[in-house]
Chains A and B, each alone.
Chain A
Amino acid sequence: MKKKLLSGNEAVALGAYQAGATVGCGYPGTPSTQILENFRNYKDVYTEWSTNEKVALEVAIGSSLAGARTLFTSKHVGINVAADPLFTLSYIGVKGGLVVVTSDDPNMHSSQNEQDNRNYALFAKMPMFEPADSQEALDFTKLAFELSEKYDTPVFLRTTTRISHSKTVVEDTETKTEHKVTGFDKNPKKYVMIPNYARARHFDVEKRIVDLVNDSSNFSINKTEIKDTDIGFITSGICYTYVKEIFPEASILKLGLVYPLPEKLIRDFCSKVKKVYVVEELDPFFETQIKAMGLNVEGKNLFPITGELSPDAIKKAFGKESLAKKADINIQIPARPPALCPGCPHRQIFAILNKLGLIVSGDIGCYTLGVMPPFSSMDTCVDMGASITVAQGIEIALKQKNKVVSVIGDSTFAHSGITGLINAAYNRRNLLMIVLDNGTTAMTGMQPNPFSGETINLVPTMSIDYEKLAGSVGIVAPNFRIVDAYKPEDIEKTIKELMDSEKISLLVVKGPCVILKRKKK
C-alpha cells in the first residue's frame, strides 16, 4: 500500500491500468484530458488521440469486441459527438470491459454549456458510477470494468471538474489484474444491429437495467450512513463532500452508482430519516426519479439548478450566514477574464477581422477568445466544427457572397471541420474558410492532432496536407492560400482578395502556439 496524491484524472488512468485495460482512446477536452495523458505512460498499453469522440468510441467498441479492456474518455459535450455509436453500443454490449468516462463541467470553467450527462445514462440505458474523490475514482474505475463484463454493458464513469482536477490522497494497492485479450468471436446476432437482431437485444438491455436496479441496493458503493434521523441527504460525487463538510451529523445516502438508482435502499433511507434533501449539481436527476417513487424529498426548491454547488451554496440554502469579516475596502477592481496570450499567433488575424467588419463564424478553442475586446471579432460559437457550417447557413439566408468568414483551429478542423468543408464545396458555397494552425491543440494543454505530425506518444506520423485536401474538393490557388500568422499586411491583403473573388476559399494562417514554443525549448 502506497500513499499518493493524485488528481481524479490520474486516479482514473491508474484504475484503468490496474484493471488490466490495454487500450485507451479519446479526444482532448477539459476537464478529461489528463486521463489519457497519464494512461499512455503505463507499460504495455495502447493509447491514441482519435480524430474526434465518435471515432474514439468506435475504436473503443472494436477493441472491446476483440476482448481488450478498453478506456474511452471525453468531456461532457464530447459525448454528444459520440452519441451515435453510444446508443447502439448499449445494445451490443461488450466483450472486454468498456468504460466510458464523461467529465462534466458544471459552471462551464472551460465549456460552452453545462449539460448534465447523468441524463445520458438514463437515455442510453447504461449504468453510471460517480466518484467523490481520487480514491473512489481509482476504485470505481476498477469496479466499472468488472461490472461492464458481468452485466455485458458499457459503463459510464462520470467525473466533474472538481473531481478531475482536485488532488486527494490515494492508497494505492499497487496490484494489477491481468486481463487476457481473448480475440474476436463472430456473433452477428449481438454485433450486427439490423432491426431483427436489435429488437432482441433491446429486451436484453431492459432486463439488464432491471437486474441492476435489483442488485444495486447491495452494492457497497451505495452507502447509507445513519446518524441524526431528523435530517438526511441523498447525494453523490463532489456534493457528498460538501454535505459532510456542512452537516457532519446528518444521515447520508451516498450513491456511488448514480444510474440506475437503488430503489430499495432509497426507500429504506427515507423510512428511517424524517426529512430528506437531495443535493445534486445541475439537473434534478435523482430528485425526479425519487419523487416518481412516491417519496417526499426536497431538492431544487432549495439548491440552484445552474452552476456548481459548494459548501457555501449548501449553507446558504439553509439560511446559514457566511462568517467572513466585513472589510471596509471600497476599491473597484476590474474583472480579469481569460485572454489570448501575449505573442499569441491568433492576435493579428482577429485584429484584422475586427477592422474588416465581417460576420465571423467562430469555433471552439483558445481562439474563441477572439470574441473578447480589443478584438471583438467573433459572432457565433456553437460546437466543434460549427464555424464552417454555420457560416454556410448565414451565406445561404443572406444571399450575399462576401459577408461571412469562418474561423477554426487546426485540431477542431480535423475533429469535425473537414466534413463542413466538404459540404461547402459539394453545395457550391462561396465561403472563405480560415484555419488558424498553431501546430497543436492548445486550449486543452498542447495535444498533437492529425495536422501536427506526431501521435499522443510523440511518435512521428503523417500530417494532413492542407493544399491536397483543399485541392481534392476543388479549392486551388489562388483560392487556396497559406500565410504567416505574424505578417498582418499579408493576412489582410489575402483576406480582401479572397473575399473579393466571391469564390469558395481556404486560407491557412500558420504560426506556432507561444506556449508550445516555450515548452519545446
Chain B
Amino acid sequence: MFSLVDQRDTVNQWMERFGVRFGIYKNGVFNEQLFPFDPIPRVIRHAEWIEMEKGLIQRVNALNIFLQDIYHKKQIVKNGIIPEEFIYSSKGYMPICEGIMPKNKIYSHISGIDLVQAKDNSWYILEDNLRIPSGASYPMIARTITRKVSPKTFKDNAIGDNRTYASMLRKTMDYVNVDDGLSVILTPGRYNSAFFEHSYLAEKSGLILAFPGDLMVENDRVYYKGLFEKKRRVGVIYRRISDEFLDPLAFDNTSLLGVPNLMRAYAKGNVAVVNALGNGVADDKGIYYFVPKMIEYYLGEKPILQNAPTYLPYYFEDKKYILEHLSTLVIKDVSEAGGYGVMFGREMNIEQLANIKHLIETEPRRWIAQEVIDFKDLEIIEGNETVHRKADLRAFVLSEAETKVWKSGLTRFSRNPTSFIVNSSQGGGFKDTWVMKK
C-alpha cells in the first residue's frame, strides 16, 4: 500500500488521461474538474463486510417491497406503521405511478445506500438513494489504474476485485429487459455533472449511450432512432434523468431532456425503466425514519444495520426533544439533497436557532433531526502530510433475480478539516474501498 501512496501523482495522471472528471456549475458557469483521489483506501475486513452485506440486502429488499405496497395495496399505511401524510406529502410520491408494476416487481434496481462508521466501528445508515445514485464509476476506474501503477499492493493483499460492477449492472438491466430490446443509458448530456459516469458505464457495460432526442415512442413502444428512419426497439432504459424531466407530456412540459410518451410505454410494461419512476417516496428523508419499521413489518426481521438516531418533529415527543436539544442536533430539510439543507445546531447563532425553531413548529413534516454521529476520521494525504478527515461510504446494491451488494463502494471524504459534508458537489474527494477477501 505504501507504494500506492508513493504513486499518487502517477494515479492522478492516469485519471487525467482517461478524462475522469465531474462537472460543477458555479454562478451559472459549467466547469469540469478532476475528482480528487486519495490513494489511501478505506479497508473493510471480510467479516465486517459479510455483516454489512446482509444488512444492506435486507434494507433494499424491504424498500423494494415498500414501493410495491405504496403504489398498490398500501398495507403499511392501513396498518398504521407509517402515517399516510408521510406518503402523500412526499415530493417523491407520484400518483401517476399508482397501479404500475415494473417488470419482475423491482423498483430500485440500483440502490446507493450511504453509511458512516462511528468511532466505535459500528456502521449507521445515513440515507437511502433509490432514484439515480451515482458514483460507482470512480472506484471502478481508480481500481483499474491503481492495479496498473502498483501491482505489488494487490499481490500482497487479498483485495476483492471491484471491476465486476459493469457486468453486475448489465445483468441487472438484462433481467428486466422487455422483449430483448436494446439496453440504453439515457443521459441528459455532456454538461451533466455525472457525464463521465454515464459514458464510462455505457462503455464498460456494453450499453448504448442515448441522448435526449435519440429515443422516441411509437404505439406505446420505445425506439432508438437510428440513421435514415431505422428504428430499434428499446427494452430497458437506465435513465440518468430525474422523474420530473423524463416525459414532457406526463410531467414538466418544459423539459427538453425527456422522451414524449415514455410514461405511457412504461405504464403498459413495454419498456423497463431503471430505477422505476416514483422511487423518491422511499428515499425521502422523512420516510428514512420508518425504514427499520418497514424491515420488521415486511420481512419479520430485526434490522441488521441501524439508522442514525433520528427524530421526527411530526411526533409531539420528538418535536419536544428536538426543540430542547436543537444546539446539539443536525437538522435536515427533507426536500434537499447533495449535502444541501443540512444544518448543524452547534454552528448556528441565536437568531438562526430561533428561525429554525419557528420553521420546525410551523412545517414539522419538512424536517428531520439527527444526533451528530462522531464518525470515524479516515487518513488522507494532503501535500506531503497525512491528515484525518470525515468520510462516508456509498454502498451499491443491485437487485435482479437476487439482491447483491457490489464488493466495494464510493468512499467520499471532506477536504475541509471542520466539515462533515463529503459531497463531491461541495468539494469532497474520493477513495477506493477495499473489501478484503478473508
Indicate, yes or no, whether A interacts with B: no
